Amino acid sequence: MIPARKTAFGSKKILPQNSPNKRFPRTSPQLGRNTPGRTVEGYRFLEHTSDAHIEAWGPTLEGAFAHAAEGFYEIMLNVRSVEPKNMERVRVEGHDEKELLYDWLEALLLKFDIDRMVYSVFDITRLSKESQPMKLEAKVRGEKYDRQKHGAKAEIKGVTYHEMQIERQRDSVTVRFILDL
């Protein structure tokens, strides 16, 4: 067995034997009524050998993006321990929905890397699909990262476009993306 190496974040690099699928819960706790085994909105971790593959869904694109952010933070720490003490605005632009998702997650990663901020509430107040470039505006609520309080699971090195998908069904939107750990 190959030992896990330490990263700058202080956590262990996730290896196949301790991948997110075994370490993290499969879905967020909002229970649905219609589909057995699937919630109305939430996120889950999909199988991947070395990185984090996340699927998030909601009734709208805004809801799916909000749950994508929640899943993003759950990879790094215990998102339920983050208190929504401070509110900040996040604005990103993209030429299409995939670029908008990428830029949204990248903005949250930069907030963590530069300001050491973590968030647990994601209120996407505007998502313009008609204008070019597309725009997303959100109010995020959280606090400064505290390793003792929030824990440390894995370091996210970056967001990727690899296998990124956005699927629309009649009454929901699903996004899938991979985070480089």
133 preceded by cis ω (within 30°)?
Answer: yes
Mean pLDDT computed over 155-164: 94
Q: Is the pLDDT of residue 68 over 50?
A: yes
Per-residue pLDDT tens over the stretch 22-33:
444 444 444 333
Domain boundaries, the chain: 16-180
Residues 6+ apart with CB under 8 A from 144: 115, 116, 117, 118
- Which of the pair, 169 or 48, is modelled with greater confidence? 169
pLDDT at residue 38 above 70? no
Q: How confident is the model at residue 58 (pLDDT cuts 50, 70, 90)?
A: very high
Distance (Å, rounded) from C-alpha 156 to C-alpha 180?
Answer: 6
- Residue pair 75/147 in contact (Cβ under 8 Å)? The answer is no
Structure tokens at 80: 């339920």
71-127 residue pLDDT tens: 999 999 999 999 999 999 999 999 999 999 999 999 999 999 999 999 999 999 999
pTM of the model: 0.80
CATH node for 16-180: 3.55.10.10
